[in-house]
Amino acid sequence: MGLFDFMRSDKKKEQAEKAARKAAEQVQQQAADAPAPPSARPGNGSKYTDSAAATKAAAERMAAAAPPKAAPAPAAPPVARPAPHTPTPASAAHKAVPAAPMPPTPKPAPRAQRTYTVRAGDSLSAIARRELGNEGRWRELYAMNKGVIGSNPDMIHPGMKLNLPG
């Protein structure tokens, strides 16, 4: 904190104290000018209304005595951080430890496609129930074999070879 910053903060404190004194004087003046609340009148006292009036008066005094709020300081520009070091092939990190050889990744063996040869009296739903376990999968069976079956799924003929889904 520099010398001028210290002087500036003292000046702000003096202004805040001056404003607080002025506000306190205004509150006292208003209290003197205002008529007494009904609870302060003789014969009409209630501890609850007295408490409410006292709380309200205390809140007004505290608000008046509070220093004025300063304007928010402008946001500081973001601080640029250096990028993390990425090792290069020529850097010491790569020279210190040799890379471990990677084992070859095995390729999955091609799965044999299951087929079904249509018999007399078959329907796609019967084939799906018998071969796939769910007759509702006939649409899947039809979609896979649309080139063989054609545009009408009800027209399958004995001897057609249909591919079955996995």
| Tens-digit pLDDT profile for residues 100-149 | 777 887 777 677 788 999 999 999 999 999 999 999 999 999 999 999 99
DSSP E strand stretches across 52-141: 115-117
* Residue 51 Cα distances to 32, 57, 150, 155, angstroms: 19, 10, 91, 92
- In the chain, % of residues over pLDDT 70: 67
* Residue 147 Cα distances to 7, 79, 92, 98, 135, angstroms: 90, 63, 61, 55, 21
User: What pLDDT does residue 136 have?
Assistant: 92
User: What pLDDT does residue 29 have?
Assistant: 83
Which residue carries 């009409």 as its tokens?
Answer: 44
Could you report the per-residue pLDDT of 149-160, keeping only the tens digit for each?
999 999 999 999
User: Residue 66: is its pLDDT beyond 80?
Assistant: no
Residue 42 tokens read as 């003789």
User: What pLDDT does residue 47 have?
Assistant: 58
Q: Which of 40-44, 53-57, 144-148 has the highest mean pLDDT?
A: 144-148
User: Of 94 and 138, which is predicted with more confidence?
Assistant: 138
User: Residue 15: is its pLDDT beyond 90?
Assistant: no
